[in-house]
Amino acid sequence: MSENLAPETEKSIGTGWIIGVLLLVSAIIGVYSFELFRSSRRYLNEALTNIRKRGHVLSTQQCIEEVLSFRRNCRSMAKLCDSLVPRAMGLCLEQKSRLKYCRALPTSTARTTFGAKDCKRRQKEGATRALYNACGTSYRMIDAHCHRELDPKLRRSLPFYRDRKDTEG
């Protein structure tokens, strides 16, 4: 009788060890992933804050350069960096009036060709696919921003105009 119990006890002890090791490894991976996420979040928040602060003095083209520099040097996960390009460009653009720039643009900025020459030039100069995509996204954000800034009703939603009585820029 005692001979039959010994193999079952050994199996349950072995299974317990395996489950224990798996739980420990899972906990270590979870702590590591959380710390990686936390440091990425801190870095990305700082980067966006810097872009927002610099938006007061940057021209529209300089905003593109700033955002592409952010994307090129981003130290977080690629998908997170890619997903923040529109937000970074929007933050940069809305820090000062771009009305003069927007009025000088052709009326067909909503087309996919808007900014395409500049992005293709950058790609020929060695920009990666991620930077090429970020360039295109930046131009789409310029289009969206100019649409808001050129419409007097939407203009009030931009931070630069919120506290101004004169919304003409």
Asked if the structure places residue 25 within a domain, the reply is yes
Separation between Cα atoms, residue 94 and residue 63, nearest integer Å: 10
Q: What is the tally of structural domains in the chain?
A: 1
Asked if the structure places residue 168 within a domain, the reply is no
Its domain, for residue 157, covers: 2-162
The answer to whether the beta carbons of residues 77 and 144 sit under 8 Å apart is: no
Separation between Cα atoms, residue 17 and residue 29, nearest integer Å: 18
Query: Band of the pLDDT at 48, cuts 50, 70, 90?
Result: very high
Q: What are the contacts of 120-128 at 24+ separation with CB within 8 A?
A: 122/68, 127/68
Query: Band of the pLDDT at 9, cuts 50, 70, 90?
Result: low
pTM: 0.75
Among 41, 151, 54, CA closest to 96? 54
Asked if the structure places residue 167 within a domain, the reply is no
Query: Does the structure show a pLDDT above 60 at 3?
Result: no
Q: What pLDDT does 63 receive?
A: 97
Asked if the structure places residue 18 within a domain, the reply is yes
Asked if the structure places residue 169 within a domain, the reply is no
Query: Does the structure show a pLDDT above 80 at 151?
Result: yes
Q: What pLDDT does 8 receive?
A: 59
Q: What pLDDT does 154 receive?
A: 82
The answer to whether the beta carbons of residues 127 and 135 sit under 8 Å apart is: yes
Cβ neighbourhood burial of 28 (10 Å; 0-12, 13-18, 19+): exposed
Among 55, 41, 44, CA closest to 97? 55
- Averaged pLDDT, 94-112: 84
